[in-house]
């Protein structure tokens, strides 16, 4: 029986085994590049550029940093990297993820662990920090829904969930070319790396 290929060659030249990823094959430039070209909302956003996972990750980290001002830099880095596995597995909307089920979650968890190890984070982020990042992620999704995905506030409340929207005006989405987003992602990573 023919064995299927389970690796991807990265632009850095690394060969990432998706089933058994090793931290040695993970580079921030590959993550930033990949995430800058992966569209959130399945590309169903307004504007001249897609809203990328890299741009979303920058927003989540910004919200996290402003919401939890006393957080250590490593947890801000964890917020920036919260969707990093999507640089190789793409961004699937929640209904697709739930349909695929445990196989997708297992793959994502293995990639997350390898990425976290590569950049000095624990393989399992503490639950309290994970909840804070999830809260920032939800706020980001709500902002995205309203500002670029065509949702009304009532629709965003229904499908994303009600969020504390005080100080929301400080977060605005500006769609940018992927290469500009990639550079900003790497810049922020370099500011946060331990």
pLDDT of residue 5: 75
Distance, CA of 126 to CA of 78 (rounded, Å): 11
Q: What is the mean pLDDT of the chain?
A: 92
3-state secondary structure the chain: CCCCCCEEECCCCCEEECCCCCHHHCCHHHHHHHHHCCEHHHHCCCCCCCCEHHHHHHHHHHHHHHHCCCCCHHHHHHHHCCCCCHHHHCCCCHHHHHHHCHHHHHHHHHHHHHHHHHCCCCCCCCHHHHHHHHHHHHHHHHHHHHHCCCCCHHHHHHHCCCCCCCCHHHCCCCCCCHHHHHHHHHHHHHHHCC
pTM of the model: 0.93
pLDDT-above-70 percentage for the chain = 96
Residue 78 has pLDDT above 90, yes or no: yes
Handedness of CA 159, 161, 166, 172 (dihedral sign): negative
Residue 165 has pLDDT above 70, yes or no: no
Q: What is the pLDDT of residues 42-56, one digit of tens each?
A: 999 999 999 999 999
Query: Does 166 or 143 have the greater pLDDT score?
Result: 143
pLDDT of residue 1: 67
pLDDT band with cut points at 50, 70 and 90 for residue 92:
confident
The domain at 23-189 falls in which architecture?
A: Orthogonal Bundle (1.10)
Rg (CA), the chain: 17
Handedness of CA 118, 123, 129, 133 (dihedral sign): positive
Residue 162 has pLDDT above 80, yes or no: yes
pLDDT of residue 2: 67
pLDDT-above-90 percentage for the chain = 75
């Amino acid at each position: 029986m023919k064995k299927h290929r389970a690796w991807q060659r990265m632009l850095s030249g690394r060969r990432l085994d998706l089933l058994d990823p090793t931290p040695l094959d993970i580079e921030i430039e590959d993550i930033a590049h990949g995430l800058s070209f992966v569209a959130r909302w399945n590309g169903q956003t307004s504007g001249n550029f897609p809203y990328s996972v890299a741009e979303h990750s920058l927003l989540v980290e910004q919200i996290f940093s402003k919401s939890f001002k006393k957080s250590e830099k490593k947890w801000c880095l964890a917020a920036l990297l919260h969707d990093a596995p999507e640089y190789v597995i793409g961004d699937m909307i929640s209904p697709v993820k739930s349909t695929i089920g445990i196989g997708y979650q297992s793959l994502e968890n293995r990639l997350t662990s390898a990425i976290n190890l590569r950049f000095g984070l624990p393989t399992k982020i503490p639950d309290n920090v994970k909840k804070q990042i999830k809260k920032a992620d939800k706020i980001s999704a709500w902002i995205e829904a309203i500002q670029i995905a065509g949702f009304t506030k009532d629709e965003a409340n229904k499908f994303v969930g009600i969020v504390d929207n005080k100080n929301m005006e400080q977060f605005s989405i500006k769609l940018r070319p992927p290469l500009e987003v990639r550079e900003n992602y790497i810049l922020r990573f370099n500011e946060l790396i331990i």
